Structure 1
Amino acid sequence: MLPSITFLDLETTGATPLKDRITEIALVRFDDGVETARWQTLVNPQMGIPPFIQSLTGINNAMVEHAPAFSEVASQLLAFLEGTVLAAHNVRFDYGFLKTEFKRMGINFQPKVLCTVKLSRLLYPAHFSHGIDAIVARHNIEGLARHRAMGDVEAILRMLADARRQLGESVIEAAAQKLMASPVLPPHIDVNLIGELPETPGVYQFYGENDSPLYIGKGSNMRARVLSHFSSERATGRDKRLVQEIKRLEWVPTAGELSAVILESRLIRERAPVYNRQMRRERQLCSWLLDPSAQPMVRLVDEDDIDPSQMDRMFGTFKNRHQATEAMRKIAQKNRLCLKTLGLENDGDGACLAYQLKRCKGVCCGHESAEIHGLRLQQALIAHKLKAWPFVGKIGIEEYSLENDIRQIHVFEHWVYLGVADSDDSLQALSTQITTLKFDLDTYKLLVKVLAQKKTRVLNLPF
């Protein structure tokens, strides 16, 4: 399939490389299509194995008590992996653990990798699932020790053996080459610098001539995201121009995806990169404010005049006043509301034209009370209502990355972003500072989405 490839699988105490450790390693190496090495070993993780993991893998604390530590097998493992492509099912998982273990020893581990999940998808696109269990069932594989390292390696090898018989060696080789295709970097980009990019969440920035900002982007895996810009599959003229103009890049790691989104948005607004046009906001945003005691009961409010503390009386976000007015007209016509009473038409005294056409229930001429008309208006607007702030005061949303040991708390009040804290002192300052709240639609939409996620950690401030 490739001149040299090593299929590897790990068992671990959990899913997080910085917190969990390896308990078993198994690999099979092929050179020029011939198996040249087969090796497996238990590894003492130097920590307890959780009961769930013990029941899943069958590896218990007693089994690894006298097994070698990773540092004791590291040189042997490096010898097996020298000059070969590391292949694994969901290779990012196994590579992440190996990279972390080698980093603890002061070794920079950066092999070429191949994901056999992606390979399975290319070879068998008609199938939905490509996990080990699905592969075992699909290829009628029996007699394997599932959730043990060598058993999982054997499952992948048997899948590839079936693929050779069913599809042919050339199809497998073409799929592997496609996955292994290296992006072409511009001559001014240092290959070693790309290698230093972390595989963690963060924001990256491309610069052109005279250090002018070209593009600012984000990614949950910055290295993969940056490399995607240089992929041959990015064939649009815009992407090609961007790649040709890049002279320098830099990056900022973050605690998570929310932190990356917020930082990306702020940097784009501050630096206005030429290739981020699609993220530039419309500056005429407006919304309808409902005031039952006023006449008319609704009025348009521009973004700069929106009071975030009155979000429970705001309806819709529109790019301009014309769009907002047309939307309100459609709501009125659908619900037989009076355009004259809403202040959208001026028909003089008496009944409006819509009443004569039986499109208004007559609040304009006393046939419907103002109270009933107001209630019907509020009912009609419910679908467009912006969310009221669901907290008493300020909140913090905490993100922590085990991969890069970064903790960030983003502080909000009435949907307005107040800043980020990375220490107790800065959090205390943000919690107590008095700030003029200025509504921002991008922040509102982002926060609504984040708060709906169960994994979001919210802190009520001050605390």
Structure 2
Amino acid sequence: MTPALLHPDLLRQFPGGIAFVDIETNGGPAQRASITEIGIVQVDEDGVHEWSALLQPESRIPDHIQRLTGIDDAMVAHAPRFAQIANEVFDRLHGRLFIAHNARFDHGHLRAAFRRAGLDLRPQVLCTVKLSRRLLPEHRHHSLDHLISRHGLDVSARHRALGDATLLWQFWQKLHERFPPAHIAEQVRALVAHRSLPSHLDAEQINALPDTPGVYLFYGEREGKASLPLYIGKSTHLRSRVLAHFAADHQSDRELSLSQQVRRIDWIETAGEVGALLKEAELIKQLQPTHNRLLRRNRDLCTWRLGTDLFGKPRLELLHADALDFGQRDNLYGLFRTRREASNRLRALARDHALCPPLLGLEKHAPRMRCFDFQLKRCHGACNGKEPAAAHEQRLLDALQGLKLESWPWPGPIALREGLELHLIDGWRYLGSTRNGIELTQLLERGRPAFDMDVYKILVKAARTLPVLVLPALDDACTSP
């Protein structure tokens, strides 16, 4: 090994050296034990060390994976589980720059496996796909097979963990033959996740962030109980999302301003994406962060209710959000932040569907007289009897259909199950989330909050995807594993 392969700048940044890593899996998700093999090539001042191990996954290896990797069920039948070798793997990776091809895959599976084994590995990660793109932008494709062909890499065992990790080590050496080591070190620094952390933000705060669903809060210089967050966000991968803020701070004035102000980061983990969305909406409305522009409180929220007048003809009535009851009404159309917005939307529908504004209550005019829109040929004449009332009514129903709100289909409160968490809702109002029956009872006793448009949109989508538990089943649900 020549000294240039670990440039002094890289050694200062990664004194433990570097590790080229590859894993093979049975095609299962990172949340399950699906790794079948791991290969590591360690490079440091002491030299190059290769290591690999077969692992027993949680489920069988599909036939197409067996054909691709050559690893079958018999080969891993007596192999150790990851937890049995987790400490050894941890020692081989800890303190080193973690280098992999499409690194998110390998790193994500290993992080999850370490977490299940009770260990927390948080290496700095370099993706060789990104490094190849950065150094060789003239090439369109950067898959491992393309790197093999382009750089003449020596293939010993393709689609085996150590064989592919060795190919990455060869690629690293080829790059050093073509580019000055200092230039490569500079590009590596630019690609490693911590590169854009503001100098006034403690890197340990980032290291402590889990890469799980939840909400994060950015705080400025003020401390204490009176301190309010600058920004609140949510993500299904907290750590990655927070890093993305700082990675973009030179591309957006807003991100740059935020990165210059943030001094502290807090977070709240949730069971999944829905819990993160609900907690974000709740905290933004409660704390009103200066950098959040959406999800503000909507005190003048209103909707159109379609009813009938004394003569049985359709009649639109504008209702305030406090009067909404989805359990009793299913003829509500649209949610608007102001009365003006509601009227403007109805006028737009009238224009697009040739509806009569006076018959919609938008204008006054004498009975059986032609409205102004009829004179402009934007009304078909329902106002003066030229168009049958039934035809106008049907067009109105058709025009409103896209604005129709979901009615509340259950007799009372329900819960949406997300992982081990239950989100309690009633009439499309969010009552809170819990994991035990005592808290659930307390949430029910607090009563329903005011109707909220942003929460309504979240819950309507969530009710279509998450398991719904009706009230009689909730006590059992809270105690089940």
Q: Give the TM-score of the pair, scaled to structure 2.
A: 0.77
Task: Classify 1:460/1:36 alpha carbon distance in 2 versus 1 (closer, same or farther; 3 Å).
Answer: same
Distance in 1 of aligned mates of 2:62 and 2:123: 33
What's the counterpart of residue 249 of structure 1? 265
The counterpart of 1:457, out of the listed 455, 466, 471, is 466
- 1:403 maps to none
CA distance in 1, matches of 2:415, 2:139: 43
Partner of 1:58: 70
Give the match for residue 10 of structure 2: none
Query: C-alpha deviations, 1:356-410, integer Å up to 9, x for none?
Result: 454433333333343332222112222333344466765433222xxxxxx2122
Q: Residue in 2 aligned with 1:19? A: 32
- Using the alignment, how far apart are the partners of 1:98 and 1:176 within structure 2? 22
Q: State whether residues 141 and 155 of structure 1, in contact with CA within 8 Å, keep that contact through their aligned partners in structure 2.
A: yes
SS in 1 for 2:299: coil
Give distance in 2, aligned partners of 1:137 and 1:367. Answer: 76
Task: Tell me how far 1:51 sits from its aligned partner.
Answer: 4.1
Asked if 2 retains the 8 angstrom alpha-carbon contact of 1:395 and 1:458, the reply is no
- For residue 344 of structure 2, what is the amino acid of its counterpart? E
Alpha-carbon contact 2:97-2:125 (below 8 Å) kept: yes
Q: Which runs of 5+ in 1 are unaligned?
A: 401-406
Deviation at 1:170, TM superposition (A): 6.9
Matches within 5 A, 1:174-323: 174-180=186-192, 181-185=194-198, 187=200, 189-208=201-220, 209-211=222-224, 212-214=227-229, 215-231=231-247, 233-234=249-250, 238-293=254-309, 297-309=315-327, 312-323=330-341
**Alpha carbons of 1:123 and 1:318: their partners in 2 closer, same or farther (altered >3 Å)?**
farther
Q: Tell me which of 395, 398, 401 is aligned to 1:382.
A: 401
- 1:39 alignment counterpart: 51
Shift, 1:191, TM fit: 3.7
**Structure-1 separation of matches of 2:59 and 2:377:** 77
Q: 1:459 to 1:383 in 2, by over 3 A?
A: closer
Q: Give 1:257 shift.
A: 1.6
C-alpha distance in 2 between matches for 1:439 and 1:128: 51
SS state at 2:218 partner: strand
**2:359 alignment partner, one of 327, 338, 341:** 341
More displaced 10-residue stretch of structure 1: 353-362 or 196-205: 353-362
Aligned partner of residue 359 in structure 2, secondary structure: coil
Provide the secondary structure at the position in 2 that maps to 1:345: coil
1:229 Cα deviation after fit: 4.0
Structure 1 residues 96, 384: closer, same or farther in 2, change over 3 A? Answer: closer
- 1:410 alignment partner in structure 2: 423
More deviation, 52-61/341-350: 52-61
Kindly tell me the number of residue pairs found equivalent between the two proteins.
Answer: 450
Tell me which amino acid in the other structure corresponds to 1:459: V
Return closer, same or farther for 1:51/1:364 CA change in 2, 3 Å cut-off. Answer: closer
Corresponding position of 2:128: 116
Q: Distance in 2 between matches of 1:373 and 1:392?
A: 35
C-alpha distance in structure 2 between counterparts of 1:397 and 1:259, whole Å: 10
Task: Please state how far the C-alpha of 1:135 moved relative to its aligned partner.
Answer: 6.2
CA contact (8 A) 2:94 2:121 kept: no
- Unpaired runs of 5+ residues, structure 2, are 8-16, 474-481
Summarize deviations over 1:32-77 as a string: whole Å, max 9, x none.
8x972222222345x5544455565432343234445556655654
Go from structure 1 to structure 2 and tell me whether the alpha carbon gap of 1:296 and 1:160 turns closer, same or farther (over 3 Å shift): same
1:307 and 1:439 in contact (8 A); partners too? no
Aligned in 2, Cα 1:273/1:2: closer, same or farther, shift over 3 Å? Answer: farther
Q: 1:109 to 1:319 in 2, by over 3 A?
A: closer
In percent, how many aligned pairs have the same letter?
38
Change in Cα spacing, 1:132 to 1:390, as seen in structure 2 (3 Å) is: farther
For 1:307 and 1:105, the matched residues in 2 are separated by 49
Residue 259 of structure 1 aligns to a residue whose secondary structure is helix
Structure 1 residues 217, 24: CA separation in 2 closer, same or farther (over 3 Å shift)? same
Compute the TM-score of the two structures, normalised by the length of structure 1. 0.80
SS at match of 2:467: strand
User: Is this contact kept in 1: 2:426–2:448, CA < 8 A?
Assistant: no
Alignment CA distance shift 1:316-1:167 (3 Å): farther
Q: What secondary structure is seen at the aligned counterpart in 2 of 1:341?
A: helix
Letter in 2 for 1:298: L
Distance (whole Å) between structure 1 residues aligned to residue 449 and residue 91 of structure 2: 60
Task: Quote the offset at 1:297 in angstroms.
Answer: 1.4
- Greater CA drift, 347-356 or 197-206: 347-356
Task: Tell whether the 8 Å contact from 1:28 to 1:35 is kept in structure 2 after alignment.
Answer: no
Q: Deviation at 1:339?
A: 1.8
For 1:343 and 1:48, locate their aligned partners in 2 and report how far apart those are by CA, in whole Å.
65
- Secondary structure of 2:333's counterpart equals strand
User: Is the alpha carbon distance of 1:165 and 1:425 closer, same or farther for their aligned partners in structure 2, counting shifts above 3 Å?
Assistant: same
Distance 2:118 2:455 in 1: 41
Residue of structure 2 equivalent to 1:404: none
Which amino acid letter does the alignment assign opposite residue 59 of structure 1? I
Distance 1:272 1:2 in 2: 48
**Are the structure 2 counterparts of residues 73 and 375 from structure 1 closer, same or farther at C-alpha, using a change threshold of 3 Å?**
closer
Distance 1:423 1:125, change over 3 A: farther
Distance in 2, matches of 1:125 and 1:414, equals 54
Shift, 1:318, TM fit: 2.8
**Paired residues of 2:416 and 2:469 also in contact (CA < 8 A):** no
